[in-house]
Amino acid sequence: MQNNTHSHQPTVFVVDDDAAVRDALKFLLRSVGHQVETYASALEFLDAYRDDRPGCLVLDIRMPGMSGLELQEQLVGRRAILPIIFITGHGDVPMAVEAMQAGAMDFIQKPFHDQELLDRINQALTKDAEMRQSIKGLNGIRERLASLTQRERQVMNLVVHGKANKVIAGDLDLSQRTVEIHRARVMEKMQASSLAHLVRMVIEIGEL
């Protein structure tokens, strides 16, 4: 419900079972102008978080009930892209390594220097924005691809495989003129500025 209002400004989500640490992080992050939401448990966060909300997750690795690592696993499982910065205590390095192997962006040991944490949060927010941008781009390509007719799709597949119009006409049993018309429609619908651009888009969405 509140997602619409938040969907453009990124949020730093803080999950820590310790109220004092949670509130301190909120206090610090607000003091530098971040939008912050705090959660006392992994489950509480999982229930509330929608994958389309941009931002990053600052996550305590050690929590009763569902641990930080288990929350990470759940998020990976549902293909959420939210970057995760783990906060760890002393002696939690082995767990932190495990978290990094599972794709965590970073970890930071308690107590931390504020600048160190803020730098990492900024990096994470940048990464999240880039990821969302590129996903948005890919989704755009997929949508445009879906708008092609079957015949246009056939023509495009042969074009991106480097076939000349004459060869395509022969393969598809069409006149060369018809192929040229389809080809022009493909470039237009795919918003491709050049053949190279078209090829890159098809590669990006893994169709080539």
Window 130 to 189, contacts with other proteins (CB under 8 A): none
Q: 3-class DSSP state for residue 106?
A: strand
Give, rounded to a whole angstrom, the gap between the first and last alpha carbons of the chain: 39
Side-chain half-sphere CA neighbours of 208 within 13 A? 17
Out of 70, 180, 204, 207, point to the residue binding other proteins (CB under 8 A): 70
Stretch that binds other proteins, among 51-59, 60-68, 99-107, 194-202 (CB under 8 A): 60-68
Between the alpha carbon of residue 183 and those of residues 82, 131, 154, the distances in Å are 39, 31, 10
- If binding is defined by CB under 8 A, does position 21 make contact with other proteins? yes
Which residue number, 12 or 201, has a Cβ lying nearer to other proteins?
12
Q: How far apart, in whole angstroms, are the C-alpha atoms of residue 168 and residue 5?
A: 50
- If binding is defined by CB under 8 A, does position 90 make contact with other proteins? yes
Q: How far apart, in whole angstroms, are the C-alpha atoms of residue 208 and residue 77?
A: 27
Stretch that binds other proteins, among 65-73, 97-105, 144-152, 197-205 (CB under 8 A): 65-73
Q: Which helix (H) or strand (E) holds 128?
A: helix 114-146
Which residue number, 66 or 205, has a Cβ lying nearer to other proteins?
66
- If binding is defined by CB under 8 A, does position 94 make contact with other proteins? no
Q: 3-class DSSP state for residue 105?
A: coil
Task: Give, in degrees to the nearest 5, the angle at Cα 122 between 40 and 118.
Answer: 65
Out of 12, 15, 25, 85, point to the residue binding other proteins (CB under 8 A): 25
As beta bridge partners, residue 87 has: 60, 108
Cβ-contact 43, 65 below 8 angstroms: yes
Out of 36, 67, 151, 204, point to the residue binding other proteins (CB under 8 A): 67
Cβ-contact 77, 54 below 8 angstroms: no
* Residue count, binding to other proteins (CB under 8 A): 26
CB of 27 to other proteins, least distance (A): 5
CB of 86 to other proteins, least distance (A): 14
For residue 156, count CB atoms less than 10 angstroms from its CB and return exposed for 0-12, middle for 13-18, buried for 19 or more: buried
Out of 91, 94, 162, 206, point to the residue binding other proteins (CB under 8 A): 91
Window 95 to 124, contacts with other proteins (CB under 8 A): 110-114
Interaction site with other proteins (CB under 8 A) = 17-18, 20-21, 23-25, 27-28, 31-32, 62-67, 70, 89-91, 110-114
